[in-house]
Amino acid sequence: MSERLAPTTTPDTKFFWDALKDGKLVIQRCAGCQALRHPPRPMCPRCNALAWDTVEASGKGEVYSFVLPRHPRWPWFDETYVVALVQLEEGVRIVSNLNDVDAADVTIGMPVEAYVEHFDNVSLPQFRPRRNA
C-alpha cells in the first residue's frame, strides 16, 4: 500500500472518515428535517438543527463536473488523473477521483459508482464508471 495526502479531520468530519475505514460511504442527515448534506458541517442550512445522523450512500451517481489537473505534479499519480464532482443519487455532491477510465472518455452525466480505497494513512472514497449503468 501507499500513502495519500490525508484530509484534516475535525469533530464535524470524523464520522465520515471513520466510516470509510469500515468501507462505507455515509452522508450526514439532519435529524430535524431529514435533509442530506455534504460536506459534513455542524448545522443544517435548511432548518438550523444541530442534531444529525447518517445514512449509507448507495454509491451510485453521475459525473456532475470534472477537471484534469496538470499542476502541481503529485507523487501518487503517474499520468493524467481525473478529479470529479459526483452527484450521488441521494442528491448530494462529492469531490473525488474517477479511476479506471481514460480521461478522454469522461463525460458529464457519466454513470459512476463509489468504492473505498484503503491507503496506509487514510481511506478515501473513489469512483469508477458504473458497470451496470
Interface positions with Zn ion (CB under 5 A): 30, 32-33, 35, 44, 46-47, 49
* CB-nearer residue toward Zn ion: 52 or 66: 52
Nearer to Zn ion, 33 or 67 (CB): 33
Task: Choose between 6 and 47: whose C-beta lies nearer to Zn ion.
Answer: 47
Distance CA(91)–CA(40), nearest Å, equals 14
Shortest Cβ 15–Zn ion spacing (Å): 17
Phi, psi of 26 (to 5 degrees): -115, 155
Count helices and strands (H / E) in the chain.
1, 8
Distance CA 104, CA 94 (A): 21
Minimum distance from residue 28 beta carbon to Zn ion (Å): 10
Closest approach, Cβ 96 to Zn ion, in A, equals 25
Between 13 and 34, name the residue whose CB sits nearer to Zn ion: 34
Least distance in angstroms from the C-beta of 43 to Zn ion: 9
CB 47, CB 32: distance < 8 Å? yes
Helix (H) or strand (E) holding 21: helix 14-21
